[in-house]
Amino acid sequence: MRIDVVSIFPEYLAPLELSLIGKARQDGLLDLSVHDLRDFTTDRHRTVDDTPYGGGAGMVMKPEPWAQALEAVAATGPGADASAGAPAQKPVLIVPSPAGERFTQAIAHELAEEDQLVFACGRYEGIDERVLEWAAEHFTVRPMSLGDYVLNGGEVAVLAMVEAVGRLLPGVVGNPESLVEESHSDGLLEYPVYTKPSTWRDREVPAVLLSGNHGKIAQWRRHEQYRRTAERRPDLLEAFDAGALPRADRTAFADLGYDVVDGRLRRRPEA
């Protein structure tokens, strides 16, 4: 996969040289480049922003530096080398924005299938809207939000999204099975985990985990997922497909105050 990040603070993206993502870059599993937006300006002050039309506080990022930068990264991406007989796949342009769609694990899996991702790190009051309109002719544009809050710029969000997507690429995570049993992989939160010693400060590891009975361990972990999700993120259960749950799992949800109605979980009013 090819990833390009455009920012006025390229040094902010230095953590992408570390840990699993940094190793993936060294091993050739991930082609990642960070570009300084100011390199695509034409004035001696390397200006990237101006006052907003219509008045208001703050500054808006100018369109031309962004167009120049995006044209440059698209021209060197995998799609630019497509043969004449095969249409080039549009790169995906991700614009971190509190007005974007919510970034989820499912979207991370979608993006991990793409050939090229381009991240546009906005600052100030954002990027001139015409950039996104123009970019739609050359990219698949996806404004994306980490959550219902505002950051100073897109770099923090890009760090999170690149890691979430990059770790899904083949070979990046050493044990692929660890990607299966983790939070949000199946619409639920992950079960609690424990390691040695079995007794720590008078706290015991759940006995079932020491039993050696893998069937009971798997059931305990599954039911712990239900409990943790119901306690911390009950909103996730609204979309959970409960139609094929075995009797023991339905009982576990009943103990948590949920009934299965038409294949969906419904919380009892008194629960």
Query: At 132, is the secondary structure helix, strand, or coil?
Result: helix
Cα–Cα distance for residue pair 240/218, rounded to 1 Å = 19
Q: Are 60 and 125 contacting, i.e. CB atoms less than 8 angstroms apart?
A: yes
**pTM for the full predicted model:** 0.82
Mean pLDDT, the chain, rounded, equals: 91
pLDDT at 135: 97
Give residue-wise pLDDT tens across range 4-47.
999 999 999 999 999 999 999 999 899 999 999 999 999 999 99
- Identify the CA nearest to 148 among candidates 89, 182, 103: 103
Give residue-wise pLDDT tens across range 163-179.
999 999 998 986 565 55
Question: What number is the average pLDDT over the span 133-139?
Answer: 95
Buried b (16+ CB within 10 A) or exposed e, 28-39: ebbebebbbbbe
Structure letter (DSSP) for residue 233: -
